[in-house]
Amino acid sequence: MVTGAPMRTITDTRPMPTPIDAHLLTLTQWLSPAFPVGAFAYSHGLETAINEGWIADATSLEDWLRDCLSDGSGRADAIWMRLAYAADDPLEMDAKARSFATAQERLREAERQGAAFVATVNAVWGLALPDMLLPVSVGRAARLAELDIDTTAVLYLQAFVANLTSSAIRLSPIGQTAGQRVILNLQPFCLQVAEDTRNADTTDVFGNAFFSDISAMAHETLEPRLFQS
């Protein structure tokens, strides 16, 4: 009797794909340039800096944004977002965040974008947020939607960098490819700032990106100008 060779069992050794968390999709939607907060209308003082020649190419833009992330408004936003996420009363955090605003245009920028963000998440996600500054409203919305605050902080900071890079591209000869390289190069700083602010409180809020703050103040009288800040 002739028998066939024993059959071999073929095992697929490829790793199982990681399931995509719907919460991540929500975050990318909230922090997308397509989300209607009007971010395209604000330069965060970059218009002044480019007009003064302080930012003239991709390298100087990257240096500027790195300082904003590590020592300026990017870091402060990450702290306010985390505090709003943890707070029982986010309006208290909102009031404190307003008191730390370094210029009238900075306050108006965060106020108007925050109000636009709140209007959309309330209408689409069924939340009941009051109008608050953008980082505060994002932090509070993330808590109500049960989103991970660490991921929220990282993606918020990358969106911060991407929006300002887009503004710089429209204001200067910095091209699209160079701008994308700037965003890529600043990814480690977004991760680091998000990590560094994990256990921060209000005493950890400071602003040492002085040229950025001065640019925001001077923008109020800049003529002509394209952006609201």
Identify the CATH number of the domain in which residue 142 sits.
1.10.4190.10
Q: Taking residues 79-102, report their average pLDDT.
A: 95
- Answer yes or no: is 9 within a domain: no
- The CA distance from 96 to 140, in Å, is 15
Split into its structural domains, the chain has a count of 1
In a domain, 28, yes or no: no
Q: Is residue 167 part of a domain?
A: yes
pLDDT tier, 222 (very low <50, low <70, confident <90, very high otherwise): confident
Q: In the predicted model, is pLDDT for residue 11 greater than 60?
A: no
Segment 51-63 mean pLDDT: 95
The one-letter amino acid at 196: D
The mean pLDDT value for 51-59 works out to 95
Residue 82 belongs to what domain range?
A: 39-219
**Does any domain span residue 84?**
yes
Q: What is the pTM of this model?
A: 0.89
Each residue's pLDDT tens digit, 16-47? 455 567 889 999 999 999 999 998 888 898 99
Q: Which amino acid is at 184?
A: L
Whether the predicted pLDDT of 77 surpasses 90 = yes
Residue among 88, 86, 111, 89 nearest 98 (CA): 111
Considering the domain boundaries, does residue 33 fall inside one? no
197: in domain: yes
State the Cα angle at 101 between 98 and 104, rounded to 5°: 100
Q: What share of the chain is helix, strand, coil (3-state, %, to 5)?
A: 65, 0, 35
> Does residue 226 lie in a domain region?
no
Our measurement of the distance from residue 225's CA atom to the centroid of its chain's CA atoms, rounded to an integer in Å, reads 24
List, for residues 103-113, the tens digit of each pLDDT value: 898 899 999 99
201 has pLDDT over 60: yes
> By three-state DSSP, how is residue 24 classified?
helix
188-200 mean pLDDT: 96
Within a domain: 23? no
